[in-house]
Chain A
Amino acid sequence: EDQVTQSPEALRLQEGESSSLNCSYTVSGLRGLFWYRQDPGKGPEFLFTLYSAGEEKEKERLKATLTKKESFLHITAPKPEDSATYLCAPSRSGDYKLSFGAGTTVTVRA
């Protein structure tokens, strides 16, 4: 059975204090791993797809990396507007049953 674990559950940062979020997974035949951002009361917003170990993707202060068993989302010099819950989901080709992690809720204080 696919397992997706995100850590930590919650992360409180001071503005400018860089940190990383972890997504570990056990999925055979990985096609790609998705990262999403979710604001309170809204649907998840797609951020990145990572396809192979060693790949990196960047968007503003966010950088996602992938290994064979984990993905990391690095937040560099975060701002309060980066406060959100970040979700990851590994996918297999042709598989419609995507499993999401429970998410990491990031709070950035000014």
Chain B
Amino acid sequence: DGGITQSPKYLFRKEGQNVTLSCEQNLNHDAMYWYRQDPGQGLRLIYYSQIVNDFQKGDIAEGYSVSREKKESFPLTVTSAQKNPTAFYLCASSSEGGSPLHFGNGTRLTVT
């Protein structure tokens, strides 16, 4: 079955440490995205990538970094510069801009 795999499901880190969240898709989609979800708030776009080796900042990119070296993979690094990193992180993909997004099941990151 095609889909998006995010790992791990739960992640715990100490403040000041960088952490990388994994996202892999086998839908053959060109575009991939990272969203952050906090209780009572909508999904907020962190970064997106339209094609391999290219990515753009979303609305809340500060403190995050990404890479897109392969079509299937779009890892997100939460750096120590991110002020409030504890959140639910969702990866998604789409065939093109304006098309429906397909989401993974998220990674819940807790930083203490």
Contact = CB atoms under 8 A, between A and B. Distances in A.
Nearest to A35: B100
Interface residues of A, number: 27
A96 B102 CA distance: 13
Interface stretch (B14-22, B38-46, B69-77, B79-87): B38-46
Contacts of B92: 43
A92 interface: yes
Secondary structure at the A interface, as helix, strand, loop or mixed, is loop
Interface residues of B, number: 30
Interface stretch (A53-61, A62-70, A98-106): A98-106
A97 B40 contact: no
B109 interface: no
Interface of B: 4, 6, 31, 33, 35, 40-43, 45, 48, 50, 56, 58-59, 90, 92, 94, 96-106, 108
Given A43-B6, A93-B97, A93-B98, 8 more contacts: A34-B101, A41-B106, A42-B105, A43-B4, A43-B103, A44-B43, A44-B90, A97-B48
